[in-house]
Amino acid sequence: MRGERTMTEPLLSIAEKVVKLAIKEKIDQAQATTFLCDKALTRYANSQIHQNVASKTGGVAIKVVIDKRIGTLRVNTLEEKQTQEAVKQATKIAEVSPPNKDFKSLPEPEKWSPIEGAFDKETATCSPEYRAERVRELISLAHSKSKIVKAVAGSFSTDLITFAVANSLGVSAWANVSLASMKATVISETGGSEGFGSAEQYSRRVKDIDPVEIAEQATEKSVKSVRPQKIPVGNYEVVLSPRAVGTFLSYLGEIGFSATPYQDGESFVKYHLNERVFDEKLSVKDDAHDPQTLYALPIDDEGIPKKAMRLIDKGVVSEQSICYNSLTAGKENKRSTGHAVPPVIPYYPYDVPVPINILASPGDASVDEMIAETKRGIFVTSFHYTNPVDPTKTVLTGLTRDGTFLIEKGEISKPVMNLRYTDSMLSALKEIQLIGKRLERVGETTVPAMKLKNLRFTGVTEY
Amino acid sequence: MSLELGKKILEEAVKKGASYADVRIGEILDEHHTVKKGVPEKISLLQTRGFGVRVIVNGAWGFASSIELTGKEAKETAHKAVSIALASSKLKKKDVVLTPIRTRKDKYSTPIKKDPFKIPLNEKIEILTDAERTIAKQSPLIKSSSAFFRAIRENKLFMSTEGAEISQQITWCGGGIVGIAIRNGEVQRRSYPSSFEGNFATSGYEFFESLALIDHSKQTGQEAVHLLDAEKCPSTETDVILTGEQLELQIHESCGHPTELDRALGTEADYAGTSFLTHDKLGKLRYGSEHVNLVADATVLGGLGTFGYDDEGVPSKQVFLIKEGMFVGYQTSRETAAELGLKESSGGMRADSPLTLPLIRMTNINLLPGDWKAEEIIEDTKSGILMSVNKSWSIDDKRLNFQFGTEIAWKIEKGSKGNMIKNPTYTGITPTFWKACDAVSKDDWKMWGTPNCGKGVPPQIIYVGHGCGTARFKKVRVGLMG
């Protein structure tokens, strides 16, 4: 752990210094989140590296409260003089802001402890040469598998993320994680028809990433998916790979289990409290301390220890499913669950609490067994461009991608052209026939494959 | 912006073996406020500073960036970019070639009347609060209402080993309102002037003022409530009329992205996807009807994608993508233009900060005005649906099969706007849809700003514009909600 403290101590020291500076400005409360991200990514397409980047970013997010008037300021510098200036500016913003009557208080300190295995030095210091070699290995293997492989595209990233939080009530906490991910899309072509296949892996340790396995999975799907057939739209049984399941659960996290849509009346949970809205076999939690999750952050953006949440308990959703930061918790006189998203996590707005450590309970089936149990259905590798159509009714739409196959009489019979689904998750996840025994990390979710009795496909594309 | 620092970075890159290098040193101020349900939910200022250096070594790219604007960091980051490029060069098929460019030393600044960063915060918050409270007052069924203000200022210096020295100041601002009505678990929303927190333009504070949010808040709230009692969108095939508030996103997704040459050449295949507009179709494919003329134009006054030079130092310009329905052009970079044998780049390379790598990004992708008045299109429609303001969107990874939902729609019967329709959705295949376009308006043509276009790995969010009015599309499938 010494290595970790060496990196986090200066950040924590700056955060605490910023809070002390703010207190001198005659404010009520103050919070500072300092962060440092050292990210590198090697991207390839047409079987060669075409983008290779490294960026060092960091800064401080300051929150100042004066009589319920809140000023927030984020600057991407950690230099003392500029952070001093930022404190003054945040104070000025607070002074001229109207009071936020929903604000109760910044959080009190709570006991927390770092997560073992969150940080891996090899990942944090991974070289561009190492990434280039693994990319070369993956591309070579994909081409060697079949002559119809036309091109390989993907990315290999290695990131170090560190942040520290201090506030005027005594919060003093930090997080330090490493992340690695590798993705590959293999494009095959024969007789003018293209096939696509993809695979990806995520880990806290770069050495866990296996380019051989990724190449094999993506290439097999790609080669098998050339000359896809058009099938009619309608309701089908589906076997969803973990990546496809991850898309569904990730969206439910955002539109259903966040306190913001819940308090706005836009979350389905509000209308189905204590009801079994999903299949009894479906249990989903959010738990940063589970070793299987990717983002091993012990605390949130406010320095609150992340609580384990039962998002779906044997198909039932309840008040216990809702994830809060301190502001949304204050509105209901509750305690935050530790779900304020720190500025180091991409995609999410920092003021909306969301679960980013979603884990679904495994079942006892293999994907082969799911296929064998399907009379006529569709195997989905992944979904593309999914978006909510009616968030409150959990209606999502999106398209299949990178390997979509028809299953007939318990076997994959042929590749099919990509299909658009438009369906409510309350309906699609109501009857889950089988759940996979193996969990895979897919970004912020850790999920198994699933066989659903029904998914509604409303359109078909041309490849 | 420090010319000295820029020179040092370029010198260090060349010293280490770069045959080409460019550097962007920049600072971005992002002021973003939200008043929601009577409280200032977000009063936020974000400042980003730093530099990014892009190099070609042994015919391959490398890029590195840092937030530390010091001589020591400049040297280390330039060296890092070179070592990354060396690693890239081990896995290259051919050397990177750039189209030639006339290098310039120039300055550009967005023309503004009122500096949005000098307007007192309380003035902005008062407008947001008044507008938001007016929405809330319309009905107890309004369960949530919000008002938004956003302003961005980007100061950037571009320098290259070819001799370019270009400094720019881009300023944009705007805002919007939204009201959400809920009854028995049914949720309906109305936004003004558009979704995604409103409308935005490269302009001063005068653009935010021109939106007159308070004046429009009553109708916005009332329409959200009325939608609860509106008819459901029928599931059928009919003529669809799209107003600019929806047409802009249709253009964005089904023309903007597929005409990005990096997608067509496969370099976004692993994430955003490729494009059905492959280069063998250039000049040959009928993309739309003769009424369809689409351009990429970074010169339009007020466009959110308007600037002086792109992030490769290419001056802003207008380029035809679709001319009288034919696919005739791409949005390009210097590298992709050279790959296709084009003489020059379309000037579409932009990064969302000095710390990220420039990619081909939309500037302003505009549907040029047609001959109709918007009202005439309605009067000329026997039976159809008029849809407005985007609510949901999705399109496949080659940009063919799309499905959109809008906040509101109205039946068109015998040339008149009839009953309100809720949960409208429509779907289609891109070229089929645009070939079915038989009327494009001219009188309500305006620029729409989309501040949230995502692309790339690692992901970048950039601001783009779309100019359009109202257009009609024949025989479109609507009502996908079941």
Domain end (from B171, B204, B229): B229
Last residue of a domain, one of B197, B229, B261: B229
* Structural contact between residues B438 and B230, judged by C-beta atoms closer than 8 angstroms: no
What's the token pair of residue B23? Answer: 């550097």
Count CB-CB contacts under 10 A for residue B154.
21
Euclidean distance between CA atoms A188 and A152, whole angstroms? 9
What the block records as the tokens of B442 is 């001219």
CB contact under 8 A, B270 and A153: yes
B299 & B192 share domain: no
- Cα separation, A242 vs A230, whole angstroms: 24
Give the C-alpha separation, A23 to A17, whole Å: 10
Same domain, B196 and B277: no
Region(s) of chain A under CATH 3.30.2290.10:
2-222
Q: Where are the beta strands (DSSP E) in A76-192?
A: 149-167, 172-190
Inter-chain contact B401–A71, Cβ cutoff 8 Å?
no
- CB of B461 within 8 Å of a chain A CB? The answer is no
Which residues does A246 contact at the CB level (< 8 Å), separation at least 6? A440, A442, A443, A445, A447
Task: Count the domains in chain B.
Answer: 2
- Report how far apart, in Å, the C-alpha atoms of A61 and of each of A103, A217, A228, B43, B164 are: 18, 42, 50, 13, 35
Residues B178 and B270 in one domain: no
Domain final residue, candidates B188, B207, B229: B229
Partners of B437 in beta bridges:
B473
What's the CA gap between A137 and A215, in Å, rounded? Answer: 9
Q: Which domain holds residue B372?
A: 232-478
Q: Are B65 and B80 in contact (CB under 8 A)?
A: no
pLDDT tens, residue order, chain A (463 aa): 334 556 789 999 999 999 999 999 889 999 999 999 999 999 999 999 999 999 989 999 999 999 999 999 999 989 888 899 999 999 999 998 889 999 999 999 999 999 999 999 999 999 999 999 999 999 999 999 999 999 999 999 999 999 999 999 999 999 999 999 999 999 999 999 999 999 999 999 999 999 999 999 999 999 999 999 999 999 999 999 999 999 999 999 999 999 999 999 999 999 999 999 999 999 999 999 999 999 999 999 999 999 999 999 999 999 999 999 999 999 999 999 999 999 887 767 778 999 999 999 999 999 999 999 999 999 999 999 999 999 999 999 999 999 999 999 999 999 999 999 999 999 999 999 999 999 999 999 999 999 999 999 999 999 9
Residue B141 and residue B221 in one domain = yes
Q: How far is CA A244 from the centre of its chain?
A: 13
Please indicate whether, in this complex, the C-beta atoms of B63 and A53 are within 8 angstroms of each other: yes
Q: Which of these, A463, A457, A436, A438, lies nearest to A377 by C-alpha position? A: A457
Residues of B in contact with A59 (CB under 8 A): 67
List the Cα angle B283/B287/B293 in 5-degree steps. 85
Residues B211 and B145 in one domain: yes
**Which residues of B are less than 8 Å from A136 in CB distance?**
90-91
Residue B237 and residue B290 in one domain: yes
Cβ-nearest to B392 among A351, A387, A461: A387
The DSSP 8-state label assigned to residue B17 in this structure reads T
Residues B298 and B224 in one domain: no
Give the architecture-level CATH label for domain A2-222.
Answer: 2-Layer Sandwich (3.30)
d(CA A149, CA A318): 49
CA dist., res. B377 & res. B355, Å (int) = 46
The pLDDT tens digits along chain B (482 residues) read 689 999 999 999 999 999 999 999 999 999 999 999 999 988 889 999 999 999 999 999 999 999 999 999 999 999 999 999 999 999 999 999 999 999 999 999 999 999 999 999 999 999 999 999 999 999 999 999 999 999 999 999 999 999 999 999 999 999 999 999 999 999 999 999 999 999 999 999 999 999 999 999 999 999 999 999 999 999 999 999 999 999 999 999 999 999 999 999 999 999 999 999 999 999 999 999 999 999 999 999 999 999 999 999 999 999 999 999 999 999 999 999 999 999 999 999 999 999 999 999 999 999 999 999 999 999 999 999 999 999 999 999 999 999 999 999 999 999 999 999 999 999 999 999 999 999 999 999 999 999 999 999 999 999 999 999 999 999 999 999 86
Q: Is the N-terminal amide bond of B193 cis, ω within 30° of 0?
A: yes
Q: Kindly state the DSSP code that residue A93 receives in the 8-state scheme.
A: H
Q: How far is CA A182 from CA A122, A123, A141, A152, B262, in A?
A: 16, 13, 15, 13, 21
Q: Are residues B33 and B159 in the same domain?
A: yes
Q: What is the pTM of this model?
A: 0.96
CA B453 to chain centre: 5
Read off the tokens for A183. Answer: 């993705």
Q: In this prediction, what percent of chain B has a pLDDT beyond 90?
A: 98
Q: Name the one residue in this structure whose structure tokens are 């050339």.
A: A226
Can you name the residues that pair with B260 across neighbouring β-strands?
B331
DSSP string across A299-349: B-TTSPBPPPEEEEBTTEE-GGG-B--HHHHHHTT----S-PPPTTSSSS-
* Cβ within 8 Å of residue B84, ≥6 positions away: A40, A52, A53, A54, A128, B62, B63, B64
Shared domain for B212 and B268, answered yes or no, is no
For residue A92, the chain B residue with the least C-alpha distance is B121
Pair B178, B245 in one domain: no
Contacts A–B by Cβ distance under 8 A: 255
Among B155, B200, B159, B165, which Cα is nearest to B353's?
A: B155
Two structure tokens written together for A196: 């696509």
Asked if B65 lies within 8 A of A265 by C-beta distance, the reply is no
**Same domain (yes/no): B220, B241:** no
**Do B211 and B259 sit in the same domain of this protein?**
no
Q: How many alpha carbons lie under 13 Å from residue B453 in its C-beta half-sphere? A: 26
Please name the residues in contact with A214: beta carbons below 8 A apart, sequence gap of 6 or more.
A138, A154, A182, A183, A184, A199, A200, A201
DSSP string, A230-272: P---EEEEEEE-HHHHHHHHHHHHHHTSBHHHHHHT--GGGGS
Q: Of A135, A270, A384, which has the smallest distance from its Cβ to B91's Cβ?
A: A135
